[in-house]
Amino acid sequence: MARWKTDKNMKNQRTGDEGGCPASPVEKQETGENRMTKQKEQAVVASQEQLADGIFSMWIQTEAAETAVPGQFISMYTNDGSKLLPRPISICEIDRENGRLRVVYRVTGQNTGTEMFSKMKAGDVIPLIGPLGNGFPVEKAAGKKAFLMGGGIGVPPILELARQMQCEKKQIVVGYRDAQTFLKKEFEENGEVYISTEDGSVGTKGNVMDAIRENALEADIIYACGPTPMLRAIKQFAEKNNIVCYLSLEERMACGIGACLACVCKSKEKDHHSNVNNKRICKDGPVFLSTEVEI
């Protein structure tokens, strides 16, 4: 039985779910005209609260809310000049009407960028770029029995996915370390919820795959986000059972827009952009069909 740890040392911030912009910049054009359409935005923190130990929720007033889709992420910048790189954080909720995005993120340690985010208050300026990456193809679930699976700090992006998904059976399977099951209430408003905890304090003891087995759940499409060992187990399960499966991957990144080639994953086929068996998680992902990638 697949087991994985979401221990504190694991790279659990979604440092890899950066992504390219849905409108591909390599599209053909006749002239080299200026086509600047994107910029770093000085967004504003709308509210912030702590949900669990080390887990924070921030609503941000941002233009990124206009076009964001579930599974995309934003590159968030600290206001500390010694921390240069953006933190790619996946989008947890989209409130298009009010121009707001919600991110739920984990503070990864003392003096980290995420700790700085956690100290920000309503009205503070938070520079960001987004939305970035390709989201979950939510429409593919129409008429199907779906698993929406999240583990650890991969749980938050599953919420907006659950809110937008129209399908025959919406089974939300989320894994936590312990009884601090953040976002549980919101999930319960949006589907059937199955929980696993590593310590067994809530739901199935073990991981999300254990929860599926214990509850004898079935699906014909899977959407998942979480630590790589979890995604690896889900990929194996999906492919063994011929289930269409979309995985949101993570990797350390620098630019977030597909230029630096830091956040690559192995692809099954030669990628058309890289011309090798590498795909950019930020630009070509972070969501991939499980059969496209090797993890």
Partner 1 sequence: MDMRVNIAGVEWNNPVTVASGTFGSGAEFADFVDLNRLGAVTTKGVANIPWQGNPTPRVAETYSGMMNAVGLQNPGIDLFCERDIPFLRKYDTKIIVNVCGKSTEDYCEVVERLADEDVDMLEINISCPNVKEGGIAFGQNPRAAEDITKAVKKYAKQPVIMKLSPNVTSIAEMARAVEAGGADAVSLINTLTGMKIDINRKTFVLANKTGGVSGPAIHPIAVRMVYEAANAVNVPVIGMGGIASAEDAIEMILAGASAVSVGTANFYNPAVTMEVADGIESYMKRNGFESVSDMVGLVR
Which DSSP state fits 291? G
37 binds partner 1 (CB under 8 A): yes
Measure the CA angle with vertex 157, ends 151 and 162; round to 5°.
100
Interface residues for partner 1 in 238-277 (CB under 8 A)?
Answer: 251-265, 273-277
Give me 195's structure tokens.
Answer: 């929980």
| Amino acid at site 281 | I
Q: How far is the CB of 207 from partner 1 (least distance, A)?
A: 21
Taking CB under 8 A as the criterion, the residue among 3, 5, 8, 96 binding partner 1 is 8
Taking CB under 8 A as the criterion, the residue among 2, 22, 25, 140 binding partner 1 is 25
Q: Taking CB under 8 A as the rule, which mask of x and - marks residues 104-133 in contact with partner 1?
A: -------------------------x----
295 binds partner 1 (CB under 8 A): no
Q: Taking CB under 8 A as the rule, which mask of x and - marks residues 39-78 in contact with partner 1?
A: xx------------------------------------x-
81 binds partner 1 (CB under 8 A): yes
Contacts of residue 280, defined as CB under 8 A and 6 or more positions apart, other chains included, come to 20, 258, 261, 263, 264, 273, 274
Q: Buried (b) or exposed (e) across 142-169, using 16+ Cβ within 10 A?
A: eebbbbbbbbbbbbbbbbbbbbbbebeb
Is 73 or 194 the residue whose CB approaches partner 1 more closely? 73
**Closest by Cα among 211, 208, 169, 215 to 192:** 169
According to DSSP, the β-strands at 145-151 and 169-176 are: parallel
| Positions that interact with partner 1 (CB under 8 A) | 8-9, 11, 20-21, 23, 25-26, 29-40, 77, 81-86, 129, 251-265, 273-278, 283
